[in-house]
C-alpha cells in the first residue's frame, strides 16, 4: 500500500547535536511538507517542497534544514541552532501541483526529545 513512512517514531538526542528525521513516500507525490506540533498549539509549517531539488521556508524555518534530492524523500535536519527542538514532527505529501488538498497524505510523526 502507498503511504508515508516517518522514522523513527521516537527519537532522543543530546542538546547541541544535529538530528535528521526521515520521511519517505511511495505515492508519487510531487509536494512534501514538514510540520511541527507543540503542546497547546496547532501544527505549523517548517519547510515545504513542491518539486525535486527545490524547497521553500515555511512559517518557522529557523534552526531547521531540508533537502529534496529524490522525489520520494524529504529529510528534515534539526540543527543545534533550533532553540526549542523538543516537539512532535509531522511529514505530509500531496498530489500533483494544482490539485490542492486532494490526495494530501500525512505521516504518523516523529516525537523528538532533546535532553
Partner 1 sequence: KNEVEQSPQNLTAQEEEFITINCSYSVGISALHWLQQHPGGGIVSLFMLSSGKKKHGRLIATINIQEKHSSLHITASHPRDSAVYICAVMPAYFGGRNQFYFGTGTSLTVIP
Q: How many residues bind partner 1 (CB under 8 A)?
A: 29
For the chain, the 3-state helix, strand and coil shares in percent, each to the nearest 5, are 0, 50, 50
Minimal CA–CA distance to 32: which of 112, 104, 108?
104
Q: Which residues pair with 32 in a beta bridge?
A: 49, 93
Counting Cβ atoms within 10 Å, is residue 22 exposed (0-12), middle (13-18) or buried (19+)?
middle
Does position 16 interact with partner 1 (CB under 8 A)? The reply is no
Of 17-25, 66-74, 75-83, 87-95: span binding partner 1 (CB under 8 A): 87-95
35 or 64: CB nearest partner 1: 35
Question: Does the N-terminal peptide bond of residue 8 adopt cis geometry, omega within 30 degrees of 0?
Answer: yes
35 or 74: CB nearest partner 1: 35
Single residue of 25, 68, 94, 114 touching partner 1 by CB under 8 A: 94
Pattern of binders to partner 1 over 29-58, x per CB under 8 A? --x-x-x----xxxxxx--x-x-----x-x
Cα 21 from chain centre = 7
Give the residues lining the site for partner 1 (CB under 8 A): 9, 31, 33, 35, 40-45, 48, 50, 56, 58, 88, 90, 92, 94, 97, 100-102, 104-109, 111
Amino acid at each position: 500500500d502507498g503511504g508515508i513512512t516517518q522514522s523513527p517514531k521516537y527519537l532522543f538526542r543530546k542538546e547541541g547535536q544535529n538530528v535528521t528525521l526521515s520521511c519517505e513516500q511511495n505515492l508519487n507525490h510531487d509536494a512534501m511538507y514538514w510540520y511541527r506540533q507543540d503542546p497547546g498549539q496547532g501544527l505549523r509549517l517548517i519547510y515545504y517542497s513542491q518539486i525535486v531539488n527545490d524547497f521553500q521556508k515555511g512559517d518557522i524555518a529557523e534552526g531547521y534544514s531540508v533537502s529534496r534530492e529524490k522525489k520520494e524523500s524529504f529529510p528534515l535536519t534539526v540543527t543545534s541552532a533550533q532553540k526549542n527542538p523538543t516537539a512532535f514532527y509531522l511529514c505530509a505529501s500531496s498530489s500533483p501541483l494544482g490539485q490542492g488538498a486532494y490526495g494530501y497524505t500525512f505521516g504518523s510523526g516523529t516525537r523528538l526529545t532533546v535532553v
